[in-house]
Structure formats: structure tokens, C-alpha cells
Amino acid sequence: MLKTLKSVNRALRNKQKKLKLDYYCRRYDKAPQPKMPMKDVRTVALLRWDNKLGDAIMSGLFIKALQLARPDITVSVITPPFCGNWYQKATGCEVIHCDKRGVKTAHSFRQYRGQFDAVVELGTSFDFKELLAVHELGASYNIGFNKTNHPIFNVNLPAEAVHFKQRYQAAAELFCSQPFDDVIPLIPYPSEQIVDAEKTNVAINLFGSSKYRQFSRQEALKLLHNWLRDFPHDCLYLIPVPGKIELLQDLVEECASERVILPSETSSLEFSLQLLSQVDLCVTPDTSVVHMASALNTPILAIYADNPRNYQEWHPLSDQNKVLFNPATKDKHDRVYVHEFDWADFKAKRESLAANQYTK
């Protein structure tokens, strides 16, 4: 009953968003009048105000490409402080801090109106807040993906650039006439050895960005016990996550195995990268850890919702990777939890990755 009510509530919220978007489109969805040819663009704003680390990781490619191939162009990122810290450490670009995504924040962008020749906003979802934000920035060129039905986006990327890495590559190609490096930049991280290189080491992230991508205590214990039983040579390193340290400590205590390790009681992106750079495998729900591991080319076993479009946009990029999909939802407004998968399927994918001899 509760699950049905939640589904109905989501459907109503989505309908309300659509009505708001229709209203804002009538008011603001107008094609810009460019004040210059595209080749003369010198200031670009990357609108990343949703504060999602996965997108920040991928978009670093775009920034680095322009910094190296087009140093005459200044790229600024509009983002809250959390991702702003990543951008500054990974790319050294100019960062304009903003509040969380919302109507009030969108209106605040009017102070930058006309400051940028082009605005890049490549998100898949698009609602009245994005439309208002792009309108308030008032650039000559608004670059989007899959926004051909919105006149305010007068530059659209090729439809085949589905994965976010491909999108940022395509956006960079608009400005760079010569080939550029497609390496995803990362923030600096320590190189000191954390794991025993003589063993088979697995980094496990149990938490995603929503409650549906997070293992509960009970389901995490079930996963770890099954793993200890079926893969006796794996050492399991739990990735420390803000707000979850106490839970992770309890999991280590309850497992009571020297093969289940919490390598640090302090979480940081630098430590996560350090650990991921040294292990033989990363196991994680669909979240930013996938993209950090991808940038490091660490083998990945990822758990994704049964959403083909989302998978096309955010699938792992490591040379060795396997994906376990959760069961399909009964309707488009329903949700499935990350732990809802068959252990036999998980075991088979782990075994197929183990068959490849990892060389780190």
C-alpha cells in the first residue's frame, strides 16, 4: 500500500513539473540573438549546479581540453562548493559558487547576464529551473544535448553522444579544431600503499546518492557474508563514506573476519582515489565511485537500475567491467532497491572478472 502511494505521489509531482515547464517555456524559451560568430567565443560557463560529483568528474575532460587546445577561452564552472572544490583541484579552472539548484538560485544568475559568450548545460533532465537559469545567464550561445525542441538551446550536440564522456568530448570539439587528450582529470591523491599487493583486494562502496542505491545494514551484512563464503581469497576494503563510518565499523565488527577491512575512519575523495588506484576490483552501486574507478581504469562490478537510458549515459568505462541490473519496475513511477538482485548472478559476474588476471 505504502509503495503504491509513493508511486502515485511521484506521478503527481512529475505532472506538476511538466505543467510548470510548459508555463516557463511560453515565457522564456526563446532563441538567443548571437552577438558574435561561434568562432569568436572567448568566455564559457559550465552550468553544474546540481552538485553531482559524477558529472563533475566527466566534465573535467571538457575543461582540460579547452585549457590546453584553446587557452584563449576562459571556462568558468557555476556550481556549489562541494563540486567546486573538485573542479579547482582537478582542473584549476575558475569556479563561481552558487546555492543549491532552485528558482531563487536561477534568478541570482542575472548578476552574470551577458558575462559569458556561451553556456554549456548537457544534462538529460530539463525542467523549468534549468530553463530559467539559462535565460538569466543570457549568453549568445546555449549548448545542450537532446534539447532541439527548446529554442533557447541554439547549439545541440550530436544525438549519438549519449554517454556523458562523449557529450563533453563533443562539446570540446565545438571549440577545438585539433585532436585533444580524452583523459579524465582527477584530483591529486596519495600514492602510499594501503593494501597488500600480494592478495586479491576488492574495494566495496555500499552507498549511492539516493536511498534506493544504498545497502541497509541487514542487506550489507548479507552481501559480505555471501562474499566471504564464496570467494575465500578476496580481501574486502569498505570505502569510507561521510555519515556512514559508524555503520561501516559495525559491519566490520559483526563480520569478525580479517578479510573485511575499514581502511580509514575518515572519509575523503583523495583517500577513495588512493584505494581505488590499488585494488584489483571495485564493487559499487551506480554512483560517482563508478566514474572515479573508470578514470583510474580499475576493474568494476557495478549495480545499476534496470534503466537502459541511464545505463547508456553512465555505464562504466574501465577496460574490465561487468554490470548487474536490478529487476525492472512494475511501472515508470516505481522504484527498486540496490540490493534486489540474485546472488547467483552477482557471483557469476564476479567469477568472470576473476578469470581475467588483474595487473595493477
Q: Is the pLDDT of residue 131 over 80?
A: yes
Please report, in angstroms and rounded to a whole number, the separation of the first and last CA atoms in the chain.
49
117-128 pLDDT, tens digit per residue, is 999 999 988 899
- Using pLDDT thresholds of 50, 70 and 90, give the confidence band for residue 332: low
Question: 97 - beta bridge partners?
Answer: 79
- CA–CA distance, 349 with 153 (Å, rounded to integer): 42
One-letter amino acid identity for 70? R
Give residues with Cβ within 8 angstroms of 224, minimum separation 6.
204, 236, 251, 255, 260
Cell matching residue 143: 549548448
- Using pLDDT thresholds of 50, 70 and 90, give the confidence band for residue 110: very high
Q: What is the pLDDT of residue 358?
A: 44
- Using pLDDT thresholds of 50, 70 and 90, give the confidence band for residue 4: low
Q: Is the pLDDT of residue 282 over 50?
A: yes
Average pLDDT over residues 258-273: 97
**Mean pLDDT for all residues in the chain:** 93
- Domains of the chain, start order: 26-173 (3.40.50.2000), 200-354 (3.40.50.2000)
Q: What is the pLDDT of residue 333?
A: 63
Q: Is the pLDDT of residue 225 over 70?
A: yes
Q: What is the pLDDT of residue 360?
A: 40
Q: What is the pLDDT of residue 238?
A: 98
Please calculate the CA angle 300-302-306 and round it to the nearest 5 degrees.
150
57-82 pLDDT, tens digit per residue, is 999 999 999 999 999 999 999 999 99
pTM recorded for the entire structure: 0.91
**What is the number of residues in the chain?**
360
Q: What is the DSSP letter of 297?
A: T
Q: What is the pLDDT of residue 29?
A: 94
Average pLDDT over residues 221-244: 97
- CA–CA distance, 198 with 190 (Å, rounded to integer): 20
Cell matching residue 62: 571538457
Q: What is the CA 183 to chain-centroid distance, rounded?
A: 16
Residue with cell 556512514: 244
